[in-house]
Amino acid sequence: MCEDPQLATADWWYTLRIPAQPWMISLIRSSLQLALQRHGRLDLADTACLLATELVTNGVVHANSPVTVDLSCRSRTLRVDVHDSSPEAPARRSAGCDDESGRGLTLIDACATAWGVYPAAHGRGKAVWFTLC
């Protein structure tokens, strides 16, 4: 039985946990792509994978912690929650033209239907979530 009420009421859900290793981030993209294909949501796959990868990268690089990704769908709305062990909320940065980072939250704000941050239910940490319709 699922303990997370968000997942427990979903039509379907998928969870993946990776260690704090940057080379593991590509696993998130390919796993989410397969899960979305399996559930007939390839229409959202590119955007969902891009945004999830941004959040996972933030968790691995800035929080230096293992990351858990929860993918769920309810009434055709896709939700992705990315959990890490840092209590610090992500901060929007101003990226210059030549900067290789600093655009993640801007991408999420531009592409997601909605997004936000909430503290971890048990212990320390947080989750950053977004939805796509």
| Per-residue model confidence (pLDDT) at position 1 | 38
pLDDT band at 102 (very low <50, low <70, confident <90, very high): low
Q: Calculate mean pLDDT across residues 15-25.
A: 91
Question: What is this structure's pTM?
Answer: 0.88
Per-residue model confidence as pLDDT tens digits over 37-62: 999 999 999 999 999 999 999 999 88
Please give the Cα distance from 46 to 15 (Å, whole number): 18
Residue carrying the six token digits 């994978």: 49
Q: Would you list the domain boundaries of the chain?
A: 5-132
Kindly report the number of other CB atoms within 10 A of residue 30's CB atom: 10
Please say if the pLDDT value at position 76 is more than 80: yes
The SS3 assignment for 46 reads helix
The top-level CATH class assigned to 5-132 is alpha beta
Q: In this structure, what are the phi and psi dihedrals at residue 28, rounded to the nearest 5 degrees?
A: -60, -50
Instruction: Identify whether the C-beta of residue 93 lies closer than 8 Å to the C-beta of residue 106.
Output: no
